[in-house]
Homo-oligomer: A and B are copies of this chain.
Amino acid sequence: MSGGFAVAEGRGQEFFLAVLNKNLDRLIYVCHMPSMTRGPDKQFDPDAVLEKAMQVFWAKGYAATGLAELQARMGIGRKSLYDTFGNKRQLFIKALQLYSDSVVGQISAELDKKGSPLGNVRRLMRSLEEDHSLPESMGCLLGVSMAQCPSDDGEMAGILRHHIQRVEEAFYRAFKRARDIGELNRSTNTRDLARLFMGIAQGLALVGRVQDAPSVPRSIVNAALATLKSA
């Protein structure tokens, strides 16, 4: 026996059986294997189930969340979980991306609205204030994860950095437009300002996770918006 083989799999699809040499660098034979039958469909919606997983990670953090709890809240068996999402880490990363896309989408939608860009910023910040004033506020999943990301995990850190950057960019577009139309001073450094507001939003979410009274989030947003009046 001097060969190996590899298959390209797929759900309900045809696939190939490939025979390789023993160094795995030469294709010796390829056999097309059309799939004749198929099994039943999944009994759950992967997106809906991922959303549930996201909430558990959000509330408890990555390390403190066990497979048993994930299974229970997602309402699926363990085999299904691993077949669909790979493993706990990959499930977490998919949850991070789901959350990031959703949050960045909402923030961008608000900030990119027509009309006064500073008005959009004010509306967004008041909305964030409201969210993080609720007693059940859990902060921001990405922020929570930044706090837990092991320093040697480059992939995860990359996702978190990317999220930060997208939020910064959304603020930047708004502030740039505000400067262009005269809502901000010509001398304002819009890049710095965008990063500041991104940082404030993260701090707000973090504080809101612990704070019970709404006065602190309220103050933070008050003061943050006050700085725009004279910028």
Known contacts A63-B63, A203-B202; is-contact A146 B209 (Cβ 8 Å): yes
Contacts of A202 in B (CB 8 A): 202-203, 206-207
**Residue tally, chain A, CB below 8 Å to B:** 52
Specify which chain B residues have a CB less than 8 angstroms from the CB of A216 in the assembled complex.
164, 168, 195, 199
Residue in B closest to A215 when the chains form the complex, CB atoms: B195
- Residue from B148, B207, B230 in contact with A144 in the complex, judged by beta carbons closer than 8 Å: B148
Among A31-39, A93-101, A186-194, the one that faces the other chain is: A186-194
Cβ of A59 under 8 Å from chain B: yes
Asked if A76 is at the interface (CB within 8 A of a chain B CB), the reply is no
The residues of B that contact A220 with a CB separation of less than 8 Å are 192, 195-196, 199
Interface pick from A20-28, A110-118, A221-229: A221-229
In contact, B196 and A147 (Cβ under 8 angstroms): no
Spot the interface stretch: A44-52, A84-92, A149-157: A149-157
Copies in the complex: 2
The reply to whether the CB of A170 lies closer than 8 angstroms to some CB of chain B is: no
Interface contact B219-A195, CB-CB below 8 Å:
yes
By secondary structure, the A interface counts as: helix
Chain A 42-82 residues near chain B, CB threshold 8 A: 59-64
The residue in A138, A146, A201 that gathers the most chain B C-beta atoms within 10 A of its C-beta is A146
Inter-chain contact A192/B144, CB cutoff 8 Å: no
- Is the CB of A210 closer than 8 A to any CB of chain B? yes
Tell yes or no: A204 within 8 A of B by CB.
yes
Chain B CB within 8 A of A119 CB: no
> In the complex, which residue of chain B has the Cβ closest to the Cβ of A156?
B210
Which chain B residue has the least Cβ–Cβ distance from A165? Answer: B216
Please give the residue numbers on chain A whose beta carbons come within 8 Å of chain B beta carbons, in ascending order. Answer: 59-64, 136, 138-139, 143-151, 157, 160-161, 164, 168, 189, 191-193, 195-196, 198-204, 206-207, 209-212, 216, 219-220, 222-224, 226-227, 230-231
Beyond A144-B148, A157-B210, 19 additional contacts (C-beta under 8 Å) are A61-B148, A139-B146, A139-B147, A143-B206, A144-B147, A146-B207, A147-B147, A147-B209, A149-B209, A189-B222, A193-B223, A198-B203, A198-B207, A199-B204, A199-B207, A201-B203, A202-B206, A230-B230, A230-B231
